[in-house]
Amino acid sequence: MINSSSDNVKKLNSINRRMFITGSLKFFIMIGIVSRLFFLQVKENKKYLTLSDKNRIREWKLAPVRGEFHDYFGNVIAGNFEAYQLHVIPEQVEDFRYVIYRLKDLLELSDIEFKKVLKKKNEIKPWETLIVSDNLSWQKFSKINNHLYDLNGVKPVISISRNYPFKENFTHLIGYVSQANQDDIETTQAIKKNFVPGLKVGKVGLEKTFEEKLIGTNDIERYEVNAYGRRISQLEFQKGQKGKTLRLTIDTEVQKLANELLKDKAGSICVMDIYTGAVIAMHSSPSFDPNLFVFGISQDDWELIRNDPMKPLVNKTLQGNYSPGSTIKPIVALSALENGIVNTNFTVQCTGKTEMYGQTYHCWKKKGHGYMNLRNAMKQSCDTYFYEVARKLGVDKLSETAKKFGLGEKVFGDLFDIEKKGLIPNTQWKKNALGKGWLLGETIITGIGQGYIQTTPIQLCLMTAQIANGGHKIYPHLVLDDKVNDQLIDKFTPLYKNSKNIKIVQDAIFSSTNEVMGTSYRSRIDNPKYQFAGKTGTAQVKKITEEERELDLKTFQIPYEQRDHALYVAFGPYKNPRYALSIIVEHGGNGSTTAAPMATKLFKLIIDRHKMRDSLRNKNYLEI
């Protein structure tokens, strides 16, 4: 008994000792668990809260509403319209096969279109939206609406899409939008940020240049989703911002007239305000309907545009490098006057051709003009006179003046990535670019705008404008914003040494249009309100051989690709001039017969609309 009780005591001692050890262990383990909880819930709380939100919140971005383009008078030239679309969420459709075949019948989908839809369906998750049709006609849309009872899970949706109401009129200016591709997303931050499948972005023109301003911001829908990605509830709807609406300097009426004048012709017309630099119209022909691209152009339409021999895809106003022909003569004359090479009395005898440095140079008038001074030579566009002036002037001095007046430089800077610089050659350039010395004969043909010299129509327009405004620098622009508000600038930078010289050239150009024997005399307007001054130009596309010169073919007798380009630059009204323009008709034959008559029509319209434009300028147009 004693034994047993002492054994009991020992057993109790042992168990209590071990209980103490166990208790201490428990205490420390408990502390461990609490610290772990503290670590996760207090210290790392933020991290896990973020992870938990990432788990449960999913964002759906909706396509932003694109900013519009307005013309100077507030007309919408690139706007948005409501596109009728058909969405299906496959998961919500009981019998997908039935519904999709029913839709095929109702929408009269072709087999190719139908296959595209089925392919798209296989690429998305069953709860994602399948866009069966993105731009339905109202007839089909209402037809679907009438059959909705039969089409469980089909949702007719009205969505916002781009629309160009003036179709081909503004294509080369504004460009067009189309579905964003991988390249667009990678190169433009704003597209990357706002990207949603089916987003339309600017592909060319101002639509592309001003992408960041136009694109706007997405509407964002935040949904709570479960572990399987199913939407449980909408948490938030964040309204996006519509893109910025841009107001252009363009006058739609003038633009439309330009389009009409160049109908079925290849060429370009630009009109500019000679004081503000505002571009009133800028058109390249032929053009195409940009609306074709919005929902993806069909293969047939694309082939038609691409293979057109008149090259509608080329923006001739900015990309077209043309020999300026006689339209360069005002600059040659000005340069010679400024450099004191000639004065108004300097006279050259024109016999129809002249022999210099062992080469024969022809004047356009076979019989010759006789004795010519500067004013007469400009009026009748005597080539022989300008050969001689150019020879005396030298190409380097000529190129200096030409560059001053905006030739050989991009007119719009970075505004258009496609714009060409043209080429104003000088001796240095030839040595660097071609590695050859300058030949004097090349100076001579440069004097009549042939040879290496190349200009774009917009450059010729700027050149004319700067002569018309008395020889002052202006900065051409298309888009009005806070910085460029289309007000007249107070101070101009002069481009001349002596303003008299500008006057002399202006007067010479005036004579060319308004005096008998002038090259564009037939296109003159006598009413002083509309009276304008202009210089014709005819640019040879190929060297004329001696036999051809003998034949003296009429324009229509020459194959299209070999006909001369017809050019015309002008400014008006002659008293207090306000607008300058340049016209180029590719292979139009002759400047005075093809291009100059267009100027008559243009000036009538431009000057008629001047008052309206002026009143708007002074009223401080309010941004919409």
- Give the interface with another protein as residue ranges (CB under 8 A): 7-8, 10-12, 14-16, 18-19, 22-23, 26, 29-30, 32-34, 36-38, 40-42, 44-45, 47-49, 51-53, 55-56, 224-228, 232
Which CB sits closer to another protein, 19 or 517? 19
Q: What DSSP designation does 153 have? A: T
Give the number of C-alpha atoms closer than 13 A to the C-alpha of residue 484, restricted to the C-beta side: 16
Which CB sits closer to another protein, 30 or 118? 30
Nearest distance from C-beta of residue 30 to another protein, angstroms: 6
Residue linked to tokens 């294509």: 171
Nearest distance from C-beta of residue 191 to another protein, angstroms: 31
Which CB sits closer to another protein, 26 or 522? 26
Query: Whose CA is closest to 455, among 567, 603, 362?
Result: 567
Give the pair of three-digit tokens for residue 4: 């047993």
Nearest distance from C-beta of residue 224 to another protein, angstroms: 7
**Please, is 550 exposed, middle or buried when counting C-beta atoms within 10 Å of its C-beta (0-12, 13-18, 19+)?**
exposed
Give the number of C-alpha atoms closer than 13 A to the C-alpha of residue 256, restricted to the C-beta side: 10
Q: Give the C-alpha separation, 420 to 412, whole Å.
A: 10
Q: Locate all alpha helices (DSSP H) within 148-251, ordered by sequence.
A: 171-174, 182-187, 189-194, 205-209, 211-214
Q: Locate all alpha helices (DSSP H) within 358-493, ordered by sequence.
A: 374-380, 383-393, 395-404, 427-434, 440-446, 457-468
Q: Give the C-alpha separation, 77 to 179, whole Å.
A: 20
- 220 within 8 A of 238, measured Cβ to Cβ: yes
Which CB sits closer to another protein, 51 or 440? 51
Nearest distance from C-beta of residue 124 to another protein, angstroms: 20
Query: Whose CA is closest to 79, among 89, 64, 91, 69?
Result: 69
Which CB sits closer to another protein, 38 or 357? 38
Nearest distance from C-beta of residue 231 to another protein, angstroms: 11
Nearest distance from C-beta of residue 9 to another protein, angstroms: 10
Q: Give the C-alpha separation, 588 to 268, whole Å.
A: 12
Which CB sits closer to another protein, 43 or 239? 43
For 30, 275, 325, 515, 572, the CA distances from 509, given in Å and listed in that order, are: 101, 19, 15, 10, 11
Nearest distance from C-beta of residue 170 to another protein, angstroms: 51
Which CB sits closer to another protein, 18 or 522? 18
Which CB sits closer to another protein, 57 or 434? 57
Question: What three-state secondary structure class fits 11?
Answer: helix
Nearest distance from C-beta of residue 135 to another protein, angstroms: 37
What phi and psi values does residue 622 have, to the nearest 5 degrees? -90, 135
Which CB sits closer to another protein, 52 or 110? 52
Nearest distance from C-beta of residue 125 to another protein, angstroms: 16
- 434 within 8 A of 425, measured Cβ to Cβ: no
Which CB sits closer to another protein, 10 or 431? 10
Nearest distance from C-beta of residue 122 to another protein, angstroms: 22
Which CB sits closer to another protein, 17 or 549? 17
Residues 6+ apart with CB under 8 A from 269: 258, 261, 262, 281, 282, 283, 285, 317, 457, 581, 582, 583, 584, 598, 602
For 286, 521, 591, the CA distances from 597, given in Å and listed in that order, are: 19, 10, 9
Q: Give the C-alpha separation, 55 to 444, whole Å.
A: 77
Nearest distance from C-beta of residue 218 to another protein, angstroms: 24
